[in-house]
């Protein structure tokens, strides 16, 4: 039992004894006062009884009760404890003697009357002697009983308060969902380890474990599934057998492992850290069965090592966070050690994310349009693509900032803005000659599509802009569709009913399952640029592309080939039955004004 628990128990006992002493003293006061009141009431009842006209009785007084004994006056001399004395006036004096110790007596007498031949005569008096000694003799036993009761009561109340305090502290220092120590306790323990004065084994390490794409999974599967998954993840990581390590939950989808008292030899310490990181990856590899559903996850692990005699809490936490972000950005192994060389890269990424948060409000984001042409080379629509004109960096590649937006909540606000911009433009074109039939394709991220109010949000945009829903095409990826086919089908059908069309973007590059092609209300397949790049020279790409075209024809789906950059590619696709094309061979993505010029040429 640690010193903190001993202090808590000692404090509770002290408080209990104090309360008990106060309670016993107060009870003694009430007890004596009640005893006096009972005696006075008893004497009053004796008086009232003997003043009755036909009363012929003797009362025996006990400190607790009054017992009435029906006896005749003539029998008084034979009653044990009562003797008759004749006074000077010839009256009878009846003395009621009680078996009590010596002490301060209080004497009370009452006149005794008797009806004789219809005449009431006074025959004597009843003298009642009572003492507080009996009361005081019994008081210790009574108080001992009361003290015991009060002690038990106070202990029970104090224990209940103690348990409540422990519960509050548990909520303060432990995560309610997983039962693991929380970030506050993690930082406190890290500070204690760093601030301690120790000789040897002063090295430590932090493993920061972040669940990849958890927000997207949480949005698509629901928060209840996400909570169950986090609880199971915590259980698996905690079950790893590792000395001198403690597991914490430090964020929504982040866990931390604090390794203390590592060997001063770097090679031995690194071996222990790598072994633990590998155990974490192995523990999370098997699928999680959550609510009868199999869920596969991966995690990015950032490692920061430190010397407890030289490090600071803020520095160590920052280095672990940078290492974790590096693991998320990299490929291959999901574990990264902090490296000063990557510090600047991660810092630039964090600065870029901060700039992106204000880009929308500062009107730095712009919608570009890449033409889609038919077999005759006529523009029939365009894909809406987002561009970011940074004030100091210039044009930022979508490959840089789109992942940043998807990893945060920014993608939802940015995605809505793109959808609104597209619909506003469709409405403008609806009143322009030759543009009224142009369609626009908008990419929707998994985070956006999984929102419960996605359908209502899109319908609201149509109402606000007045755009024709049949001219909007929403592009989804295969991985998005397969996350939850039932929920995807429901949302697609709801929007299809008002005229919105759907396309599968980058078909063939994800985890393909041809079953969804027949169960979802799809309109178009887009052949990914990866299958177009080496046409018509690469035989494998030729076979795959021909297969996709044949599949789309069989299912009566429209086709668009992306990434068309040469006449040979266009000719091959056209000869094999592809109907629409998109790529730099026709035009790069263009700002609105340039796109309208391209269309009207």
CA dihedral 337, 342, 346, 348 (to 10 degrees): 170
71: helix, coil or strand? Answer: coil
Q: Where in the chain is the domain with CATH 3.20.20.450?
A: 410-586
pLDDT tens-digit map of 143-160: 445 555 555 655 566 566
| Strand duo 119-131 + 105-116: pairing | antiparallel
Cα pseudo-dihedral 463, 466, 468, 469, rounded to 10? -20
DSSP label at 287?
A: P
**Which residues have C-beta within 8 Å of that of residue 119, sequence separation ≥ 6?**
none
Beta strands (DSSP E) in 359-490 are 365-373, 379-390, 394-396, 439-443, 472-477
Largest CA distance in the chain: 151
CATH architecture, domain defined by 183-338: 2-Layer Sandwich (3.30)
- Reported as a pLDDT band with limits 50, 70 and 90, residue 260 is confident
CATH architecture observed for domain 410-586: Alpha-Beta Barrel (3.20)
263-272, 407-416, 430-439, 526-535, range with the lowest pLDDT = 263-272
CATH 3.30.70.270-classified regions of the chain: 183-338
Tell me how far apart the alpha carbons of residues 63 and 48 are, in angstroms, rounded to a whole number.
Answer: 19
Question: Is the entire prediction scored with pTM above 0.95?
Answer: no
Look at phi and psi of residue 111 and say left if phi exceeds 0, alpha if psi is from -120 to 50, else beta: beta
Q: Hey, what are 532's tokens? A: 């177009």
What lies within 8 Å, CB to CB, of 535 at 6+ separation is 541, 542, 545, 568, 569, 572, 573
Confidence of residue 588 (pLDDT cuts 50, 70, 90): very high
Which residues in 41-91 belong to E strands, given as ranges?
58-61, 66-69, 82-86
Is 524 within 8 Å of 473 (Cβ atoms)? yes
DSSP 81: T
Out of 130-139, 201-210, 318-327, pick the least confident.
Answer: 130-139
Of 501, 540, 550, 510, nearest in space to 528 by CA = 510
Query: Which range is least confidently modeled, 9-18, 199-208, 502-511, 552-561?
Result: 9-18
pLDDT at residue 459, as a whole number: 96
Residue holding tokens 């005699």?
309
Instruction: Please determine, for residue 484, whether its predicted confidence score (pLDDT) is greater than 80.
Output: no
**Can you list the positions of beta strands (E) in 72-131?**
82-86, 92-96, 105-116, 119-131
Q: Is the pLDDT of residue 338 over 50?
A: yes
pLDDT confidence of 479, banded at 50, 70, 90?
Answer: confident
């Amino acid at each position: 039992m640690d010193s903190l628990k001993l202090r808590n128990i000692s404090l509770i006992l002290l408080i209990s004894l104090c309360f008990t002493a106060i309670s016993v003293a107060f009870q003694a006061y009430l007890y004596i006062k009640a005893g006096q009141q009972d005696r006075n009431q008893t004497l009053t009842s004796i008086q009232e009884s003997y003043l009755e006209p036909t009363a012929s009785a003797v009362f025996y007084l006990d400190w607790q009760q009054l017992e009435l004994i029906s006896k005749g006056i003539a029998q008084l001399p034979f009653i044990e404890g009562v003797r008759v004395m004749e006074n000077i006036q010839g009256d009878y004096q009846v003395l009621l003697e009680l078996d009590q110790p010596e002490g301060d007596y209080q004497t009370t007498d009452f006149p005794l009357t008797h009806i004789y031949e219809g005449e009431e005569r006074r025959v004597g008096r009843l003298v009642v002697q009572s003492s507080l000694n009996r009361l005081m003799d019994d008081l210790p036993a009574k108080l001992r009983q009361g003290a015991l009761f009060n002690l038990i009561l106070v202990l029970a109340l104090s224990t209940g308060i103690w348990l409540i305090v422990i519960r509050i502290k548990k909520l303060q220092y432990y995560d309610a969902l997983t039962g693991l120590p929380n970030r506050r306790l993690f930082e406190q323990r890290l500070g204690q380890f760093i601030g301690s004065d120790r000789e040897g084994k002063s090295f430590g390490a932090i493993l920061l474990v972040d669940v990849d794409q958890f927000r997207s999974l949480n949005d698509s599967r629901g928060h209840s599934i996400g909570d169950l998954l986090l609880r199971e993840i915590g259980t698996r990581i905690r079950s790893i057998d590792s000395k001198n390590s403690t597991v914490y939950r430090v964020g929504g989808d982040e866990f931390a492992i604090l390794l203390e008292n590592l060997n001063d030899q770097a090679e031995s310490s690194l071996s222990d850290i790598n072994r633990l990181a590998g155990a974490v990856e192995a523990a999370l590899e098997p699928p999680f069965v959550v609510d009868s559903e199999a869920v596969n996850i991966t995690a990015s692990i950032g490692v920061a090592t430190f010397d407890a005699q030289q490090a600071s809490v803020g520095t160590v936490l920052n280095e672990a966070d940078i290492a974790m972000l590096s693991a998320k950005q990299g490929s291959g192994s999901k574990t990264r050690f902090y490296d000063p060389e990557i510090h600047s890269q991660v810092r630039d990424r964090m600065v870029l994310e901060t700039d992106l948060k204000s880009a929308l409000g500062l009107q730095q984001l712009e919608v570009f349009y890449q033409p889609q042409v038919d077999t005759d080379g006529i523009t029939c629509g365009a894909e809406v693509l987002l561009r970011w004109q940074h004030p100091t960096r210039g044009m930022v590649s979508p490959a840089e900032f789109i992942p940043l937006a998807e990893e945060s909540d920014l993608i939802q606000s940015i995605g809505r803005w793109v959808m609104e911009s597209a619909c506003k433009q469709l409405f403008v074109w609806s009143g322009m000659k030759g543009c009224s039939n142009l369609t626009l394709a908008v990419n929707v991220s998994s985070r956006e599509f999984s929102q419960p109010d996605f359908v209502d949000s899109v319908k609201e945009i149509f109402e606000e802009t007045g755009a024709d829903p049949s001219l909007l095409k929403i592009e989804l990826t295969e991985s998005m569709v397969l996350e939850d086919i039932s929920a995807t089908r429901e949302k697609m059908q709801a929007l299809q009913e008002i005229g919105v069309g759907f396309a599968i973007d980058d078909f063939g590059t994800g985890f393909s399952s041809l079953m969804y092609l027949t169960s979802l209300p799809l309109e178009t397949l887009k052949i990914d640029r990866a299958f177009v790049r080496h046409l018509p020279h690469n035989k494998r790409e030729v076979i795959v592309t021909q297969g996709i075209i044949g599949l789309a024809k069989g299912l009566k789906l429209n086709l668009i080939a992306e990434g068309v950059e040469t006449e040979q590619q266009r000719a091959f696709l056209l000869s094999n039955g592809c109907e629409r094309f998109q790529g730099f061979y026709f035009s790069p993505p263009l700002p609105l004004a340039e796109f309208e010029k391209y269309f009207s040429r």
